[in-house]
Structures are given as structure tokens and as C-alpha cells.
Amino acid sequence: MRLRPALDLLAQVGDLPAGDVIDLGCGNGAVAGALRTRFPYRCLIGVDNSPAMLAEAQGYDATTLAEIAAWQPEAPPALIFSNAALHWLGHHTALLPQLVGCLAAGGTLAVQMPRQFDAPSHLLLRQLAQRLFPDRFDFSAYVPPVASPAAYWQRLAPLGDVTLWESEYLQHLGPVAEGHPVRAFTESTAMRPFLAQMDADEQTRFRAAYDAALEQAYPRLADGGALMPFRRLFLLLRRSD
């Protein structure tokens, strides 16, 4: 299920001009195989800011260690594809036009980002962290890192042909040995920045409170798993020639 949104985005990418294909925020290369199958004769380049992730990444013609916000291609690429990476960065009103400016004429920017930040899976993290550790967490001025589709359209429409949509995936999370299935899903992603600010005992306390809240928000199924709706935003922009 984690790869499904990337495949749904890739299916909507149309014809491309000459140029490379960039997997921006490629991580350990989860999407490399799909990109290679779709564009077998293109130079495929993975870009990420983690040396450990790039060391695991396979299937690319080349990889580049770089921060996304500072990255610049050696030559204008035909496609910049970013799957579940840009929500970790801020300043999208500047970042996305910057990426469009890197493209070859007629090239495509294809982006998929979670827009789950007001759902219980993510909202409870902020609420519990602020309640349990008010000395470290204050979300009174919180602004979600991913804006509405309309906000992106208004900023990007002058730069090319924009297509935006959202999909909500109903994910069946199977039973886990410890804790709630939703916690098992978020622990390595959305939960990670919270845990990084806690010691071991605090992490145990936080996990227990989160598990208890999740039991109410996402009731268990008969098999011990749970259903979790997960909303994602998709953006395609074909740069004006």
C-alpha cells in the first residue's frame, strides 16, 4: 500500500521532452524500479540528503547527495518526480516554483505528499505531546506543511499546465505484536520527530498514551487490525514551453 500512491502519480505522467528523470527525495530507492520500467531509456538519477539511504538505493544510473531545497540539476531534466518527500520541507510557495524552473521546456514536475495532518493519526501526536511535555511542544501556531489544492493551483498555474487532485486510501493495517496498528504505521514517519525530543522513559509514556487514544479513534477489527483512511495530495505541472 505504501507504494500505491507513487504508482498512481506515475500513471498520470504524460509524454516527456528530452532529458533525465530525477527521483527527488528518493530515500532507499523504493520507486526506482517503477520509474525504470516506465522510462527504460532515460538516465535515472536519485537525489536524497541521507548517505545511508543512498547507500541502499539500487536501480539508478547515478545518485546525488543534496538537500532538496538547495539541489540544482546539471542539465534541465524532463521529469522531477517526488514521492512523499516535500512535506518534510517548508516554504512550498518558493520551493515548488524553484523546481519548476529547473525543468526542461515541456518537462513535468510530479509530486505526491500526505495531507493527513488533521486526521487523528497525526493530530493526536501533537495534542498528546503538548499535554504531556508542554516545556518542549507548543502547537498553538501550528500550520500544516501541505496546503490546500487550491493554494497550490493559484501559485503554480502561471508556470504551466497544472493538474491537482486528492485521494483518500482506506488502509487495512494488520495486527501487530505491540501497541496499536496505526502507531506501528506512524512510528517511523510522523512520530519520529516527537520521539527524537524524548528520553527512553518519556518515549514509553508517550507511546502508551498514543496507543490508548488510537484505540478510540481507530477501533480494532475482529482480526486485531484497524482501518485507517489516509489522504494524499497529487500535483502534476507541465512547464510551459
What string of DSSP letters covers 65-80? E--GGG---SS--SEE
- The CB density around residue 76, as the number of other CB atoms within 10 Å, is 17
Place of cell 496546503: 147
Tens of pLDDT, residues 54-76: 999 999 999 999 999 999 999 99
CB 81 within 8 A of CB 110: yes
Per-residue pLDDT at 201: 97
Query: Would you state the pLDDT for residue 77?
Result: 98
pLDDT tens for each residue of 159-204: 999 999 999 999 999 999 999 999 999 998 899 999 999 999 999 9
In the chain, what percentage of residues exceed pLDDT 90?
96
Domain encompassing residue 94: 4-239
The span from the CA of 166 to the CA of 25, in Å, is 21
**Is the predicted pLDDT of residue 4 greater than 80, yes or no?**
yes
Specify the pLDDT at position 2. 74
Helix 149-156 × helix 92-102 angle, to 10° = 50
164 sits in which H/E element: strand 160-173
Total count of domains within the chain = 1
Q: Is pLDDT at 8 greater than 90 in this prediction?
A: yes
How does strand 108-114 pair with strand 79-83?
A: parallel
For residue 17, is pLDDT > 80? yes
**What pLDDT is stored for residue 237 in this prediction?**
98
How sure is the predictor about 1, in pLDDT bands with cuts at 50, 70 and 90? low
Predicted local confidence at residue 134, as pLDDT: 96
d(C-alpha 30, C-alpha 50), whole Å: 14
DSSP character at residue 64: E
d(CA 110, CA 98): 14
pLDDT at 3: 87
How large is the average pLDDT for residues 115-135?
97
- Grid cell digits, residue 159: 508556470
CATH code, domain with 113: 3.40.50.150
